[in-house]
Amino acid sequence: MEQTSTILGLLAQTSIHAGTGQQTGVIDLPIQREGHNGWPCVFGSAVKGALRTRAEQHKLAALKKNEVLLVLDARTYQDKVQQSDDIAVVFGPPPGVAEIKHAGALIVTDARLLLFPVRSLTSQFKWVTCPAALRRYQADCQRLGGDFPKVTIPQPQDQDGKSQAIVPTGSPEDDLFLEEYRFSVRREDLSSLIAMLADLMATADAAGLLEQQLVVVSDNSFAHIVNHSTPVNAHISIDAQTKTVRDGGLWYEETLPPETLLYLGLSASDGRKEGAAMDAGKVLGSVLGLFTDKPWLQLGGNETVGMGWCAVKPVAKGG
């Protein structure tokens, strides 16, 4: 069976709360994290759900434009949108279907962290990454089989209790402050690394911004930063009549900050739905086509308060 793949870059434009539900720790609503290293991520199931929602919205808009669907009720929505060939073949039957006869043809990986924005005394913020994150990105690119650039990964050296940060050659700082931590600076030519990262970022002059703001720290420093520097905001719920806080109406919610760079892999195989032939190329093309006119995707919760929006950029197509 033919399979084709690509990678999508996701640059957060608003805060993202892809949560794990409530827990008993200090943070009531923590974000999703990888189990083995604690790095923030968005699980593939959540990303696939967001892609499906985007595809259904796209399908619904097309039906309304052609005046095919003028009256919308739950049954009509399921029959004409969720069960349509171009949705069901790609993503599989919708939830609640009594008998599932085929799986979807699209594979979606977790959205993995590559650049994390950190406050700095020396600029607006710095985009921080580490050798482990960069190696993993290259390994994911290799697995997906595309023509991806091979970049030498910088290796910061923490010694004698001092943490080192590698910055581009044009950076003026001799010492760098990330949050309250001080790093000694080593300058290197990071032009090939910057080109690779900029290719994931749907923003104007990404390479120029990275020349000013990219920082590579050690794996241990990166792990500490992404585990202790995510925003945590307090929220309260006010009783409309008494104008007081409801009982239990105070909670703390963790988010990924805007400017976070994530990436994910998409792989498509030939469709499995009987009587609805779609080869792998058409399956993947239907997903990428969702972002031709409007290259944004909403991830996680709190959509109605503007959270979760990412700029989407396809990187390369693999075999």
CB atoms within 10 A of CB 278: 21
Cα–Cα distance, 229 to 238 (Å, whole number): 28
Which two three-digit tokens encode residue 294? 């409007």
- Cα dist. 73→52, 60, 69, 98 in Å? 19, 12, 10, 19
Which two three-digit tokens encode residue 224? 């500490």
> Above 90 in pLDDT, residue 137?
yes
The model's pLDDT over 220-251, given as tens digits with 9 standing for 90+, comes to: 999 999 999 999 999 888 888 888 888 878 88
Query: Which residues 6+ apart lie within 8 Å of 198 measured at CB?
Result: 206, 207, 210
Q: Which of 50-59, 93-102, 150-159, 200-209 has the lowest mean pLDDT?
A: 93-102
Q: Which segments of the chain are extended strands (E)? A: 3-12, 41-42, 106-108, 111-120, 123-129, 163-168, 175-178, 181-188, 214-217, 232-238, 245-254, 261-269, 296-298, 309-318
Mean pLDDT over each residue of the chain, to the nearest integer: 89
In Å, the largest CA–CA distance within the chain is 70
H or E stretch at 288: helix 280-288
The model's pLDDT over 151-195, given as tens digits with 9 standing for 90+, comes to: 899 999 988 888 999 999 988 878 899 998 999 999 999 999 999
How high is the pLDDT of residue 206?
95
The model's pLDDT over 257-283, given as tens digits with 9 standing for 90+, comes to: 999 999 999 999 998 877 777 899 999
Could you report how far apart the first and last alpha carbons of the chain are, in Å? 12
- In this prediction the pTM is 0.92
Q: Is 313 helix (H, G, I), strand (E, B) or coil?
A: strand
> Above 80 in pLDDT, residue 77?
no
Tokens 């006010």 belong to residue? 238
Q: What is the residue-wise DSSP string for 12-51?
A: ESS-B--B----SSS-SBPBPB-TTT--BEE-HHHHHHHH
The model's pLDDT over 284-313, given as tens digits with 9 standing for 90+, comes to: 999 999 999 999 999 999 999 999 999 999
